Amino acid sequence: MSVVERQEWDVVVVGAGGAGLRAAVEARERGARTAVICKSLFGKAHTVMAEGGIAAAMANANEHDNWQVHFRDTMRGGKFLNQWRMAELHAQEAPDRVWELETWGALFDRTKDGRISQRNFGGHEYPRLAHVGDRTGLELIRTLQQKIVALQQEDFRETGDYESRLKVFQECTVTRVLKDGPRVSGVFAYERESGRFFVLEAPAVVVATGGIGKSFKVTSNSWEYTGDGHALALLAGAPLLNMEFVQFHPTGMVWPPSVKGILVTESVRGDGGVLRNSEGKRFMFDYVPDVFKEKYAESEEEGDRWYEDPDHNRRPPELLPRDEVARAINAEVKAGRGSPHGGVFLDVSTRMPAETIKRRLPSMYHQFKELADVDITAEAMEVGPTCHYVMGGIAVDSDTAAARGVPGLFAAGEVAGGMHGSNRLGGNSLSDLLVFGRRAGLHAAQYAAGADVRPPVHDADLAVAEEEALRPFSGDPAENPYTLHHELQQAMNDLVGIIRRQGEMEQALERLAELRVRAARAGVEGHRQFNPGWHLALDLRNMLLVSECVARAALERTESRGGHTREDHPTMERTWRNVNLLCRLTDDATGVGLDRETTDPIRPDLLALFEKEELVKYLAEEELYE
Ligand code: FAD
């Protein structure tokens, strides 16, 4: 009989970023006793790092904006592989989610007439990103935290206990979703500080653990992004959707080496920053793909006029979707026209007065001053692609956020797949977190309320989870988890990175298989009290599983689309438009298998939002016929 401490809740939310907190608020407001559990300190989720803003068609900066235009932009950005129902709900509900944040105390930047200000971003037809300088994620998390505290105070007034209906377990890591037969019954977790194990029992679990960037060497992502939620779902029996689509943000810092990968927000370009190569040329004009030609300026003069008069000019190509810009930078560097440290130049200094730069981009100003000793008001930044976001994720029902095939499991935020298709537009993540975080919380609470009995947690499963978590302490420490992590990051960067080739991905799968064998021998010294080596040894299971999903799906998709570029299959193929790739754990749980699935046809009224000439570029022959 296991002696691990157990607590009973209705809904457990794993992750306290934007998606997790929004889900928790909703679940608690719907009457569910809700626990939130997060690996980092409460308030220090990855969402805090979000800079540019939240995309929502509020039409504050351009009256022509509406949800239909936002839907169109999102589908174009994702190259029509998006789960279209998610893209529809997202575009329709994002404005309400932003206004709601205001009622909870968020302070957005304002227009001159006092409305929420909205800024330009790549791939968005109109200025659409509600923002707080370049610190939007911080304000989002601060507001949601404040809302949680307000709900806890309400509960205290009624029950005398702040945590009676909503409790946060911070600095605790979940290592397993527990099940009774096919249904979810709770989670197994450990406290990072003490190493103590505990169980939160609940009929509904919302996974909101964010992304996977720490499997790559150069990344904008924070330490938490080890793909835990993706792996937890996979291990619980849920499939992962389209994991080949990994976004390489075009502008990460490239120098000095210690800060390589740190993000340079897209708002730098949205606010007028331009990209130049070593010859001083604004090279993006040479990289506008056919599908976007009609929408982007042909000359620098037209592009520059667009900032003042967007209704009569086309946008500059620096504001193409991220995948296009990242590939263009990669090509310039490869052609020998890069900056001294292997990137290109991003310049605001000749485009805006110093005071405007400091006011609109305060974090960027400080980031470069302090980390690279570069004054961005006086000289150009050096930037290059960095692994930033994963579009693939847990396959969910578009309306309810329920994970496929595992009753009681829900997912929202970056860990969920489908919403962004093959490439996410900037600003569409924060809105995604709010829209689908709310939906996940709502449906998890309804599911928990409808559960006739609480699925039991079985002692045998706890024993297995404990044994798995303690394994790195047993025997000789034959393999060092830090070495394994380093080798994994190098392999993913070199072999499954921004430009992919069949032979290299096959090599990556071989490397991953070797690393998995070695990771089973990863060992640590010392004890369970705050032991980062042990934590990493446990995270390795997740990073390796998720990396295998990325490599397998990338090898299978023989075309280039969005965040998946194949040198050996350089074009986007219409026949792949309606193909989803689903990764599942193999029956013997030793690896990952892959299935193909045809997507649901896009609803005719949504297709009618596009010109036929545009659809011809994306849709397969039979889809057009229908
Ligand atoms: P997160 O905010 O990362 O939260 C994940 C939570 O899960 C954390 O609390 C973590 O501790 C917890 N967790 C993880 N694993 C476990 C585990 N095993 N057990 C317990 N807890 C766990 N998007 C935009 O739309 N606009 C922007 O301007 C923007 N700017 C960005 C700037 C930067 C520098 C970066 C890196 C990203 C940016 N993004 C932006 C993307 C966006 O920030 C993320 O996609 C989004 O914040 C993800 O939110 P989330 O709620 O899904 O996950």
The DSSP string of 427-468 is THHHHHHHHHHHHHHHHHHHHHHH-SSPPPPPHHHHHHHHHH
Q: Which residues line ligand 1 (CB under 6 A)?
A: 14-20, 37-40, 45-47, 49-53, 136-137, 173-174, 208-210, 220-221, 224, 228, 263, 389, 413-415, 426-430, 433
Query: Quick one: average pLDDT of 532-537?
Result: 96
3-state secondary structure of 587: coil
Predicted confidence at residue 348, as pLDDT, reads 94
Q: 507's torsion region: left (phi>0), alpha (psi -120 to 50) or beta?
A: alpha
Query: Quick one: average pLDDT of 306-320?
Result: 91
Query: Quick one: average pLDDT of 306-316?
Result: 91
Query: Cβ(139)–Cβ(52) under 8 Å?
Result: no
Cis preceding linkage at 95, omega within 30: no
Which atom of ligand 1 is closest in space to residue 430's alpha carbon?
25
DSSP 8-state code for residue 80: T
Output the CA 3–ligand 1 centroid distance in Å. 34
Task: Identify which of 431, 488, 574, 513 has the alpha carbon closest to the alpha carbon of residue 100.
Answer: 431
Predicted confidence at residue 477, as pLDDT, reads 67
Q: Which residues pair with 583 in a beta bridge?
A: 240, 594
Output the CA 626–ligand 1 centroid distance in Å. 39
Closest-CA residue, ligand 1 atom 28, reads: 52
DSSP 8-state code for residue 207: E
Question: Is 626 a residue whose pLDDT tops 70?
Answer: no
Q: Residues 449-505: pLDDT tens digits? A: 998 889 999 999 999 999 999 999 986 768 999 999 999 999 999 999 999 999 999
Query: Cβ(426)–Cβ(121) under 8 Å?
Result: yes
287: tokens are 């990289």
Output the CA 209–ligand 1 centroid distance in Å. 7
Closest-CA residue, ligand 1 atom 24, reads: 427
Q: 147's torsion region: left (phi>0), alpha (psi -120 to 50) or beta?
A: alpha
Q: Phi, psi (5° rounding) for residue 475?
A: 75, -175
Ligand 1 pocket test, candidate residues 219, 430, 432, 436, most atoms within 8 A of CB: 430
Question: Is 413 a residue whose pLDDT tops 60?
Answer: yes
Predicted confidence at residue 590, as pLDDT, reads 79
Dihedral angle of Cα 419, 421, 424, 428, to the nearest 10 degrees: -20
Query: Cβ(184)–Cβ(205) under 8 Å?
Result: yes
The alpha helices in 287-373, defined as continuous H runs, are 300-308, 322-334, 354-360, 362-372
Where do we find the tokens 């006793």?
Answer: 33
Helices (H) and strands (E) counted in the chain, each on its own, are 18, 20
Which atom of ligand 1 is closest in space to residue 415's alpha carbon?
52
- For the chain, domain boundaries: 5-137+155-246+389-460, 249-387, 473-571
Question: Is 304 a residue whose pLDDT tops 60?
Answer: yes
334: tokens are 């490869």
Q: Which residues pair with 11 in a beta bridge?
A: 34, 204
Query: Cβ(338)–Cβ(344) under 8 Å?
Result: yes
Query: Quick one: average pLDDT of 8-12?
Result: 98
Question: Is 3 a residue whose pLDDT tops 80?
Answer: no
Q: Provide the edge-to-edge strand list for the sheet that holds 197-201.
A: 5-8, 197-201, 183-191, 172-180
Where do we find the tokens 């074009």?
Answer: 571
Question: Is 1 a residue whose pLDDT tops 60?
Answer: no
Predicted confidence at residue 108, as pLDDT, reads 95
Which atom of ligand 1 is closest in space to residue 412's alpha carbon?
52
3-state secondary structure of 585: strand
47: tokens are 């969402």
**To which H or E segment does residue 35 belong?**
strand 34-37
Query: Cβ(462)–Cβ(1) under 8 Å?
Result: no
State the Rg of the chain over Cα: 23
Q: What is the mean pLDDT of the chain?
A: 94
The separation between the first and the last C-alpha atoms of the chain, rounded to the nearest angstrom, is 59
Question: Which of 33, 322, 360, 511 is an active site residue?
Answer: 322
Predicted confidence at residue 255, as pLDDT, reads 86
Task: Identify which of 405, 419, 323 has the alpha carbon closest to the alpha carbon of residue 583.
Answer: 405
Which atom of ligand 1 is closest in space to residue 136's alpha carbon?
28
Of 74-83, 325-334, 430-439, 545-554, the poorest mean pLDDT is in 325-334
Predicted confidence at residue 258, as pLDDT, reads 82
Q: Residues 338-377: pLDDT tens digits? A: 999 989 999 999 999 999 999 988 989 999 999 999 999 9
Query: Cβ(151)–Cβ(25) under 8 Å?
Result: yes
Task: Identify which of 396, 415, 368, 387 has the alpha carbon closest to the alpha carbon of residue 243.
Answer: 415
CATH classification code of 5-137+155-246+389-460 = 3.50.50.60
Task: Identify which of 241, 326, 324, 261 has the alpha carbon closest to the alpha carbon of residue 550.
Answer: 241
Q: Residues 137-147: pLDDT tens digits? A: 999 999 999 99
Strand segments, DSSP code E, in 531-600 are 579-585, 592-598
Given this structure, which CATH class describes domain 249-387? alpha beta
Q: Phi, psi (5° rounding) for residue 80?
A: 65, 15
Higher pLDDT, 429 or 476: 429
Of 48-62, 160-174, 464-478, 560-574, the poorest mean pLDDT is in 464-478
Predicted confidence at residue 589, as pLDDT, reads 79
Query: Quick one: average pLDDT of 37-59?
Result: 93
In this structure, which amino acid lies at residue 213? Answer: G
Q: What percent of the chain has pLDDT over 70?
A: 99
- Counting beta carbons within 10 angstroms of the beta carbon of residue 482, is it exposed (0 to 12), middle (13 to 18) or buried (19 or more)? middle
| Number of Cβ atoms within 10 Å of the Cβ of 592 | 23
**C-alpha–C-alpha distance, residues 267 and 351, integer Å:** 13
Predicted confidence at residue 2, as pLDDT, reads 58
Given this structure, which CATH class describes domain 473-571? mainly alpha
Query: Quick one: average pLDDT of 8-17?
Result: 98
**C-alpha–C-alpha distance, residues 259 and 253, integer Å:** 7
Ligand 1 pocket test, candidate residues 36, 46, 212, most atoms within 8 A of CB: 46
**To which H or E segment does residue 119 belong?**
strand 118-119
Query: Any catalytic annotation for residue 165?
Result: no
Query: Cβ(195)–Cβ(201) under 8 Å?
Result: no
- Counting beta carbons within 10 angstroms of the beta carbon of residue 450, is it exposed (0 to 12), middle (13 to 18) or buried (19 or more)? exposed
Question: Is 420 a residue whose pLDDT tops 80?
Answer: yes
pTM of the entire predicted model: 0.93
Q: How confident is the model at residue 179 (pLDDT cuts 50, 70, 90)?
A: very high
**To which H or E segment does residue 477 belong?**
none
Query: Quick one: average pLDDT of 244-273?
Result: 90
Ligand 1 pocket test, candidate residues 188, 209, 260, most atoms within 8 A of CB: 209
Predicted confidence at residue 383, as pLDDT, reads 94
**C-alpha–C-alpha distance, residues 522 and 527, integer Å:** 15
Which residues make Cβ contacts (< 8 Å) with residue 45, sequence separation at least 6? 15, 16, 17, 18, 20, 21, 38, 141, 210, 224
Predicted confidence at residue 264, as pLDDT, reads 93
